[in-house]
Structure 1
Amino acid sequence: MDFVKKHIVKPGESVNLKSVRTEPDGPFEGKEEAREYVEETIQKLRALQYRLYVEGKQSLLIVLQAPDAAGKDGLIRKTLGRMNPQGVRSYPFKVPTPIEQAHDFLWRVHQCTPAAGQISIFNRSHYEDVLVVRVEDLVPKRVWSKRYEIINQFESLLAERGTRILKFYLHISPKEQLERFKERLDYPEKHWKLNVGDYEARDRWPKYLEAYEDVFKKCSTKDAPWFIIPADKKWYRDAAVASIVHETLQEMDPQLPTVQVDLDEIRRLYERELAEMDND
């Protein structure tokens, strides 16, 4: 399956999330096959990420957005976070601090974008400033409505600098979300995730869908496309995102630097020192 073609939102495309599946429709026969695919893909990701890190010219930004319990943390832990941590950083964007609120809404985000050779993963992102603030009525419409174009300009700036941008929306159903909330209740090690506000936000589910639909239409661009990933099945979510990231790194085609040393001379020195050690 071409996961890119299947899940990408084309620039300017209108999306009705209610009509988009949250369950996969292939290509795997089940979770075991999908998990094998993920393991194989992770090995390929590691090799490409190593080349990206050593090349030191390009970078990759991965943005994750989703309703609560859709699996952003799990996706990072099981898949994206298994690349070499020397070249990958994950940033969870929570409620802005007083210092962050004293700056423009992109201030805290810009300093977390990836340097050349690096990959940054945003667990939530600058899109909270056209989603949460809109639905929860935290700022007036005249403020958040201007931010779509500002975000597009910001992402265009990153792309001009050599950063590829992938934005994933993990699409989960209200029923599956409720099941995962129950799981948090059943397992003490997950109690820390419980939040009354998560249940209250379910009452505003239609408003959040509407806000996301505007984000997709206004901010899915050639340089920074959005992908809507069915997320009711965790194994499909992981496989689809891993595949799209892998294909993107392949397109970026990072190259190892040209060798600048005399390899024959290095071998000669190695063999001489090895022979001296043997004689001792």
Structure 2
Amino acid sequence: MKEINIESFQVKQTIKLSEIPTTFDLQANKKKIEHALEDVCEDLAEIQNTMYAHGKYAALICIQGMDTAGKDSLIREVFKELNARGVVVHSFKVPTELELNHDYLWRHYIALPARGKFGVFNRTHYENVLVTRVHPQYILGEKLPDVRSLDDVNEAFWEKRFEQINNFEKHIAENGTIIFKFFLHLSKDEQKHRLLRRLAKPNKNWKFSPGDLDERKLWDDYQFCYEEAINKTSKPHAPWYAIPADDKPTARYLVARVLHDTLKRYTDIVPPELEPDVKANIDLYKKQLENE
């Protein structure tokens, strides 16, 4: 199986999505990739257990991608080996009335993972510079004091929103949240095949909506918005990773490796030391239990 360097998927300079491949050859068959994923995920589970005991870092995993990019199945497969109490998954849908009565980052802030836990955002705060940018009329529903019409949703508006997102991520990173942002980079042809498979399989029909076809017509608009959002918000403390997503097992393995290899670099994440008096009396406690 091909050796990989996770740095090659990290966005460190300005990118053009049209020039980034949506496939990656791991030089292994599906079964071998799935076994490799299991091994990485078992190690990842041990890291999470140590993080929970250590209690000083949280991990925020943000997953974005076009419809059918494989977000749901990736979350299921990458995190299934972890202790369920150590992983909290949030899927952000259309904002509720309550959420619209707060600023757009509020619902994401209150969903952030506690120290020691993994928080997974299935769609994220980036929807607020993606969907709302393709459909700027949605911004009017946010009841912003400085937005009286669509004329106010201009380039300056989006620049301010990118700055707010960067500040949000910098704040949580400085307070112990390790941030991962994954863009599942899917080709338009592969999306077409996946939509057709949804229509062909009775147990997958429920995932299809006629609105999917309307959004597909806006493919180029979404690619532009993703490209700009990634370029303006990929920072050392909150990097984006462009993950080739035309093959689901490969995408899952790459995401798991990024998580694993990055967290292994945190050499200060170690189990807490026992209190000196407890450590000194371990043998005594063992004898007490053995003599019951």
> What TM-score, normalized by structure 2, do the two folds share?
0.89
| Maintained 8 Å contact 1:28/1:34 | no
1:116 alignment partner in structure 2: 115
Instruction: Say which SS state the counterpart of residue 171 (structure 2) adopts.
Output: helix
Alpha-carbon separation, structure 1, partners of 2:79 and 2:6? 17
Instruction: Say which SS state the counterpart of residue 136 (structure 2) adopts.
Output: coil
| Of 146, 153, 170, the match for 2:160 | 146
Counterpart code for 2:271: L
Alpha-carbon separation, structure 1, partners of 2:170 and 2:27? 35
Q: Extract unaligned runs of 5+ from structure 1.
A: none
Once the two structures are TM-superposed, the CA of residue 185 in structure 1 deviates from its matched residue by: 1.5
Instruction: Say which SS state the counterpart of residue 241 (structure 2) adopts.
Output: strand
| Maintained 8 Å contact 1:81/1:88 | no
Q: Extract unaligned runs of 5+ from structure 2.
A: 140-152
Alpha-carbon separation, structure 2, partners of 1:216 and 1:83? 29
Instruction: Say which SS state the counterpart of residue 105 (structure 1) adopts.
Output: coil
The reply to whether residue 204 of structure 1 matches residue 232 of structure 2 is no
Once the two structures are TM-superposed, the CA of residue 264 in structure 1 deviates from its matched residue by: 5.7
Alpha-carbon separation, structure 2, partners of 1:257 and 1:268? 21
The reply to whether residue 225 of structure 1 matches residue 239 of structure 2 is yes
Q: How many residues end up aligned between the 2 structures?
A: 273
| Maintained 8 Å contact 2:42/2:81 | no
1:158 alignment partner in structure 2: 172
Once the two structures are TM-superposed, the CA of residue 273 in structure 1 deviates from its matched residue by: 4.3
Residue range with higher mean Cα deviation, 169-178 or 262-271 = 262-271
2:283 alignment partner in structure 1: 267
1:171 alignment partner in structure 2: 185
Once the two structures are TM-superposed, the CA of residue 175 in structure 1 deviates from its matched residue by: 1.2
The reply to whether residue 6 of structure 1 matches residue 27 of structure 2 is no
Residue range with higher mean Cα deviation, 187-196 or 206-215 = 187-196
Output one character per residue of 1:49-73: Cα deviation in whole Å (capped at 9) or x when no partner: 0000111011110000000010000
Alpha-carbon separation, structure 1, partners of 2:289 and 2:14? 67
Instruction: Say which SS state the counterpart of residue 60 (structure 1) adopts.
Output: strand
Once the two structures are TM-superposed, the CA of residue 182 in structure 1 deviates from its matched residue by: 1.6
Instruction: Say which SS state the counterpart of residue 85 (structure 2) adopts.
Output: coil
Alpha-carbon separation, structure 1, partners of 2:130 and 2:289? 63
| Maintained 8 Å contact 2:44/2:260 | yes
Q: Name the CA shift for 1:116/1:273 in 2 (closer, same or farther; >3 Å).
A: closer
2:101 alignment partner in structure 1: 102
Once the two structures are TM-superposed, the CA of residue 176 in structure 1 deviates from its matched residue by: 0.9
Once the two structures are TM-superposed, the CA of residue 248 in structure 1 deviates from its matched residue by: 1.6
Root mean square deviation, CA, Å: 1.5
1:30 alignment partner in structure 2: 29
Alpha-carbon separation, structure 1, partners of 2:5 and 2:69? 19
1:68 alignment partner in structure 2: 67
Alpha-carbon separation, structure 2, partners of 1:19 and 1:269? 62
The reply to whether residue 257 of structure 1 matches residue 275 of structure 2 is no
| Maintained 8 Å contact 1:168/1:228 | yes
Residue range with higher mean Cα deviation, 210-219 or 257-266 = 257-266
Alpha-carbon separation, structure 2, partners of 1:32 and 1:264? 48
